Structure 1
Amino acid sequence: MNAPVSPSGSPVTREAALRIALAARSLPDVNVAAFVRALGDRLGTPVTEDKLARVTVADIKALLQGDEIVDPGVDNDALKSAVRYLWGEGIDDGSPIPDAELPEGPGLLRVAVASNKGEMLDGHFGSCNRFLVYLVTESQIALAEVRSTRSAEDAEDRNVARAALISDCHLAYMQSIGGPAAAKVVRAGIHPVKYPVGGAAREVLAQLQGTLKCPPPWLAKVLGTGASSQRRYTADEEEADA
């Protein structure tokens, strides 16, 4: 079977094609071909999952102005449903089940991981579907919670709302985060860690776990004084995470 193609003829992933098809189907009386062309014109081709994850309701309203696509008076619920599909929500994403046995006691780190599928670190802070919250000690890594970011969608400041979702965490791992968003995360008492290559969340956190016996100064502060210490991490540490 041939790979799906964008309006320019460039191959797109099956995941991106599925998101677009489901989004188009959620809009009443949509001309699917015209919707795909308009999406490609607005986002630029090839249309990637990363680009789709940044689409907003305002973007959909703007590209639905053409009569050949759909009535521009389509209701907000349908628009929001389309956006969620473009983000990857509502598709079987292998949502993980939290572990039954969780570690307790001193030296425990609570770590949020930006995720879209399974137990993967594969999300951007501002567009991931959910945060996986892990408890990490020298001897154990356990998934404690899966927190959807849907409640932050309609917030006046989505980045502040997302930071509030994980404000009880010491660290937050993500593939990418912008400067203003990172500042809001730090103000919430969380240390942001950019990990652009992504990967299996537990494998990434195993690297963090390996530093707990002899933690660097910034991590020692976290272990000793809690999340509030993250507001004071040094310029050197910021550069290391960049």
Structure 2
Amino acid sequence: MAQISRMLTLVDGTIEDGFEDGALKIAFATSDQQHIDQHFGTCERFSIFLVTRDEAHFHQTITFSRAEQDGSEDKLKARIGALEGIAAIYCRAVGASAIAQLKQAGVQPIRVPDGTSIKMQLGLFQEELRSGPAFWILRALEKAQGLRDDPQRFDEMESEGWSE
């Protein structure tokens, strides 16, 4: 069974306080931290970024023990579990079962051509945030900002004088 072998989180004093609260976490399946070049189920690592319309900051690398493309789904559990709080995972390939499990976990799987630059894909994602994001991105933004899961949000709106 594939396990997480290492998790490194960058503590960056240049990121403003509260930035992470409004940013989406986006993961990339990568072998070199530069390109999206791995199959989700057997990837060596995830490179995770905090992303807003205007900024993208490297946040974390999660490295996995070696896994074979053998059809076994045991390796998926550790990878999906490592994506808690992640809005999307970009990879070069992902199987149907993994897609279903990722969506169940609230993670949008996105396939891109092998070797796509992470930097370029971050730019495209930010462009989409600015110009009119897809439904899954809007849903992830709501979740990141705590709007979807806050049962008292309507009470707060009413107390502020909001009406239909």
Could you say if the C-alpha distance between residues 226 and 98 of structure 1 is closer, same or farther in structure 2, counting changes exceeding 3 Å?
Answer: closer
Aligned pair partner of 1:191 in 103, 108, 119: 108
SS at match of 1:118: coil
* TM-score normalized with structure 1 length: 0.49
Higher helix share: 1
Aligned to 2:65: 150
Q: Would you say 1:225 and 2:140 are equivalent positions?
A: no
- CA drift at 1:99: 7.4
Q: Would you say 1:212 and 2:125 are equivalent positions?
A: no
CA distance in 2, matches of 1:140, 1:161: 29
Unaligned segments of structure 1, at least 5 residues: 1-55, 57-95, 230-242
Runs of 4+ in 1 over 4 A off after TM superposition: 96-99
Higher strand share: 2
CA distance in 2, matches of 1:179, 1:122: 18
State the number of aligned residues.
133
Higher relative contact order (CA closer than 8 Å, sequence separation 6+): 2
CA distance in 1, matches of 2:46, 2:21: 23
- CA drift at 1:110: 0.2
SS at match of 1:210: helix
* TM-score normalized with structure 2 length: 0.70
Q: Larger Rg: 1 or 2? A: 1
- CA drift at 1:198: 3.3
CA distance in 2, matches of 1:149, 1:222: 25
SS at match of 1:126: helix
Write the letter of the residue equivalent to 2:54: S
Aligned to 1:14: none
Unaligned segments of structure 2, at least 5 residues: 2-7, 149-164
Q: Render the CA deviation track for 1:80-120: whole Å, top value 9, x for unaligned.
A: xxxxxxxxxxxxxxxx9947334615541101100111322
Could you say if the C-alpha distance between residues 97 and 161 of structure 1 is closer, same or farther in structure 2, counting changes exceeding 3 Å?
Answer: closer
C-alpha root-mean-square deviation of aligned residues, in Å? 3.0
Q: Would you say 1:125 and 2:40 are equivalent positions?
A: yes
Could you say if the C-alpha distance between residues 127 and 219 of structure 1 is closer, same or farther in structure 2, counting changes exceeding 3 Å?
Answer: same
